[in-house]
Amino acid sequence: MEKARESEGVMNEILVFSNTAAHAQARQVIAASAAAGMNGSLTPGKAEVGFHNDGEPWVEILSQVRGRDCVVIATIAPFAQGSVRHSVNDMAMQMLILLDALRNASARIVTVVFPYLGYLRQDRRSGKVTHRTAVSARVIAEAVEAVNHRTPHACAVEIHALQVEAFFRTMSFENIPALRTIADQLPAEAHRNAVVVSPDRGGVDRAAALKEHLGLQDLAIVYKSRIEPGKAKAERIAGDVRGRDVIVVDDMIDTAGTLVSAASFLRAEGAARITVAACHGLFSGPALERIAASDIDRIYVLDTVPPAPGVAEHPKITVLPVAPLLARAIRSIRQGESLRSLGKSEPR
């Protein structure tokens, strides 16, 4: 009888595996789940997940996973490991090979959780000159489904565009809304009587959601022209920011060129304190130097991407934990609940 109870307890555990970029996040999610006393024990799965000397991914599952529920947490973003910097492609291939290893071991994968899922910015056939462009968002969706077609579910934090959900055909794919998590962690002085600003037309829904979470009244939209991928020029604004603190909301910060340009434009329009709330902080290339020299007063960003060197110490950047949100998302999936409820506002 005692052995039966012990076996039942083990089978009720959910084993958590991760690619290299998400190792720390996986540990934090397990800790957050335990701290919140959530039903269903998350425990680390044992595996060797790394790279051969030539950069080829290597994965071996060491836990007994046959028939057991597993969760894979995978961050698809560049990741520095000591003196070695792995590309977004490295992390994507390692994730796919991890999924294949679990399939070969007959694991039952409950969901694949992407704190940050790269490749989603190219989600339609629209280029600088022609419409003959790749749709990388569809490619990554089809790759995930092909390598482990038995996985019923995947989810990602604050995806670039919701139409990406339709690229997943054999598994359900859901967005994990993150703006409520950011709003709950913003200090009061950052949003007291502020105007929420969308840096472009595509981000209006995101800005409106944050405005609702914070209980604010005013929204402004910056209209810009796209010069090339990653570069845009602010041209006019709908809304009044003169003499007001503003919160600029965006899904990600890459090289920060567009964001810094928008901040400069807002300052010229009379904005006072400029705060930025973003979900994903890639901070590529000259991003940190640009932010340091910019009109931006403070940036709050989730750690969906492992902070690059210099990010955590940057005087204008505050990194907020995403692990409690991911733990709640896994619990919701296990209980058959929609992830949309994670983004609903609570009365203030």
CA–CA distance, 119 with 139 (Å, rounded to integer): 8
Read out DSSP for 175-226? EE--HHHHHHHS-HHHHTTPEEEESSGGGHHHHHHHHHHHT--EEEEEEEEE
Q: Are residues 138 and 110 in the same domain?
A: yes
Q: Are residues 33 and 155 in the same domain?
A: yes
Q: Are residues 198 and 144 in the same domain?
A: no
Give catalytic residue positions.
224
- What's the pTM value of the predicted model, to 2 decimals? 0.90
Closest CA to 168 of 181, 191, 149: 149
Sequence-separated (6 or more) residues with CB below 8 Å from residue 75: 19, 21, 22, 25, 91, 114, 115, 116, 304, 305, 306
Task: Give the model's pLDDT for residue 210.
Answer: 93
Task: Give the model's pLDDT for residue 7.
Answer: 44
pLDDT in tens, 200-251: 888 899 999 999 999 999 999 998 766 555 566 667 899 899 999 999 999 9
Cβ-contact 86, 93 below 8 angstroms: no
Q: Are residues 196 and 120 in the same domain?
A: no
Domain coverage including residue 310:
180-320
Task: Give the model's pLDDT for residue 123.
Answer: 63
Q: Are residues 121 and 6 in the same domain?
A: yes
Cβ-count burial of 11 within 10 angstroms (0-12 exposed, 13-18 middle, 19+ buried)?
A: exposed
Q: Are residues 241 and 167 in the same domain?
A: no
DSSP state of 303: B
Read out DSSP for 156-168? EES-S-GGGGGG-
pLDDT in tens, 10-41: 556 899 999 999 999 999 999 999 988 766 68
Closest CA to 222 of 236, 210, 204: 236
Q: Are residues 151 and 199 in the same domain?
A: no
DSSP state of 281: E
Domains in the chain: how many in total? 2
Domain presence at residue 348:
no
Task: Give the model's pLDDT for residue 10.
Answer: 54
Using a pLDDT cut of 90, give the percent of the chain over it: 67
Q: At what angle do helices 23-35 and 323-334 cross, to 10 degrees?
A: 70
Which ranges of the chain have pLDDT less than 70?
Answer: 1-12, 38-40, 123-130, 225-234, 345-348
CA–CA distance, 317 with 290 (Å, rounded to integer): 12
**Token couple for 156:** 């990602």
Closest CA to 322 of 79, 14, 28, 92: 28
∠ CA 14-19-22, nearest 5°, is 85
Q: Are residues 18 and 161 in the same domain?
A: yes
Q: Are residues 160 and 205 in the same domain?
A: no
